[in-house]
Amino acid sequence: MSELVARRVGRNGWAVMVALCRKVYADGRLGRCSAADIAERTGLSAYQVARGMAELRERGVIVPVMRRTADGRRAPDRSNFGHVAQYCIAREVWAKVATEPSGSD
C-alpha cells in the first residue's frame, strides 16, 4: 500500500488494486478478474473500474504479462474479442512486497 501512496494512485486505482489482490499468485501475476466482478466487489461503476485500471498501468503498478506471439516474438498480453488481458504487479513493486515465513512449521 505504501507503494500506491508513493506513486500517487487515486481512489479508483486503490479500490481496483484491492479487488485485484484477491487473486495474486506467488510470482506476482494477478488472476483474471472481470471488470463486472471488480465493480461488484468495490461498488465502482464500469467506467470507474476502467479508469482505475488505466491509472494503475500509467503509474507503473501493474504491467501486462508478456506472451509469445504466433511467430515467436514476445509481446504484452492485450484484450481483444472477449479475451481479458492478464496483468502482473510490476517487478519493482513486487520486490518491495514483504514475504514472511508462515511460522507453522
Residues 6+ apart with CB under 8 A from 60: 7, 90, 92, 93
How is residue 17 written as a grid cell? 488494486
Residue 32's CATH number: 1.10.10.10
Give the range of the structural domain holding residue 46, as residue numbers without chain letter: 2-94
Query: CA-to-CA distance for 40 and 93, rounded, in angstroms?
Result: 26
Tell me if residue 18 falls in helix, strand or coil: helix
Establish if 105 belongs to a structural domain: no
Establish if 7 belongs to a structural domain: yes
pLDDT score of 43 more than 90: yes
Quote the pTM value: 0.75
Establish if 99 belongs to a structural domain: no
Establish if 33 belongs to a structural domain: yes
How is residue 57 written as a grid cell? 498501468
Q: Please count the structural domains in the chain.
A: 1
Per-residue model confidence as pLDDT tens digits over 47-78? 999 899 899 989 988 888 877 777 777 766 66
How is residue 48 written as a grid cell? 470507474
Query: CA-to-CA distance for 83 and 25, rounded, in angstroms?
Result: 20
Which pLDDT does position 44 carry in this prediction?
Answer: 92
Contact 38, 23 (CB under 8 A): no
Establish if 41 belongs to a structural domain: yes
